[in-house]
Amino acid sequence: MAPGIVPTEDLEAILADAPWQALAGERLFITGGTGFFGSWLLQSMCAARLRYGLDLSATVLTRDPIAAAAGLALAPGHDFIQWHQGDLRTFTDPPGAFTHLLHIATPASTGFSETSSVDMLDILVEGTRRVLELARRAGVKRALLTSSGAVYGVQPPEMEQFEEDYLGCPDCLNPGTTYGEGKRLAEQLFALYAERHGLEAVVARCFAFLGPHLPLGGHFAAGNFIADALEGRPIQVRGDGRPLRSYMYPTDLVTWLVTMLVHGASGRAYNVGSDQALPLGDLARRVGSLSGVPVEILGAPDAGPAPRYVPSTERARTELGLTLKVCLEEALVRTLNWHRGNRTRE
């Protein structure tokens, strides 16, 4: 398994479960094609095109087409993808018409938000508006926005899972909530363009994920735990280990996103993630058990309710027939094996 390549067993699952044939003959415009979501999506799309003989095409916006092409060069069948150079907020229109828009691009770094919240908000809002203007001019009929569970704000302690009709929101006077506020505005723009221009717009509110290509370190707790384990050092949990999270594996992620693009109801939001919650301390201990390293809980126990960030996925299950097929234990094993395999080849 070379870097940049989705494991074969994962591709097979995505090919079997996602409704790829519905995209035959379509032309897609995609933003965010070089990130975690985009890497999985584009490699899966390459495989689907070859497997099913689809004549779909994709144009992917990127600031660096050379680097983007190099990152996908190992995936068979990638030649159908065209790279369009430009910044999300200022790019010029690529030629021709498009049938579908996948707006995946997002400044996801917590550090970015803390140091330059105005720039983050500008990217989230003006970038989304720029992409929607292209969609309007290019005749796009269906569009999918990858939003975030951050739009709900802080999860009330008595609420086990966020449902899509929850009307809570981030604290707009807290600069630390810029990401969630920006995503809320991006969703509003999708709703406005759907109403005014007849665009079929679907929103995917994404939560937490775990799998190959997930950045190690940074603000992803799971990535930090795996990074510690791969280095053979104790896994450190910086808090008290009580916050509750849930994790979806990328095979399910891609299947859900493609299904929502094709079959999601216009003007509808769907949570994307796992509804199986566990404390971060337990996640660390599972990684430690699989890796043979100890776990250190650094924070003092807090007597208050444990913070939660967990979605309800009932809407996706009942309306779109989607299920979670990869359990957390299997996701951890596959992710650790992928990173270990790539490290031995470096």
Strand partners, 5: none
Q: How confident is the model at residue 219 (pLDDT cuts 50, 70, 90)?
A: confident
C-alpha 204/C-alpha 149 separation (Å) is 9
Instruction: Give the lowest-confidence range in 2-16, 60-74, 158-172, 273-287.
Output: 2-16
Per-residue pLDDT tens over the stretch 189-198: 999 999 999 9
Share of the chain above pLDDT 90, in %: 84
End-to-end CA distance of the chain: 12
Establish how many alpha carbons lie within 13 A of residue 133's alpha carbon, considering only the half-sphere containing its beta carbon. Answer: 12
C-alpha 293/C-alpha 243 separation (Å) is 22
pLDDT for res 76: 80
Write out the E strands in the chain: 27-31, 57-62, 81-85, 100-103, 142-148, 200-206, 235-237, 244-245, 268-272, 278-279, 295-297
Q: At 16, phi and psi to the nearest 5?
A: -75, -30
Hey, which of 68-77, 256-265, 332-341 has the most confident mean pLDDT? 256-265
Average pLDDT of the residues of the chain: 93
pLDDT at 114 over 60: no
Q: CB of 212 within 8 A of CB of 335?
A: yes
Instruction: Give the lowest-confidence range in 10-14, 112-116, 153-157, 229-233.
Output: 112-116
| Three-class secondary structure of residue 34 per DSSP | coil
Q: Measured over all CA atoms, what is the biggest interatomic distance in the chain, rounded to whole angstroms?
A: 59
C-alpha 206/C-alpha 33 separation (Å) is 16
Region label for 136, one of left (φ > 0), alpha (ψ between -120 and 50) or beta (otherwise): alpha
pLDDT for res 1: 35
Q: How confident is the model at residue 344 (pLDDT cuts 50, 70, 90)?
A: low
pLDDT for res 4: 57
Q: How confident is the model at residue 116 (pLDDT cuts 50, 70, 90)?
A: confident
Strands 81-85 and 57-62: parallel
Q: At 14, phi and psi to the nearest 5?
A: -65, -40
| Three-class secondary structure of residue 168 per DSSP | coil
pLDDT at 346 over 60: no
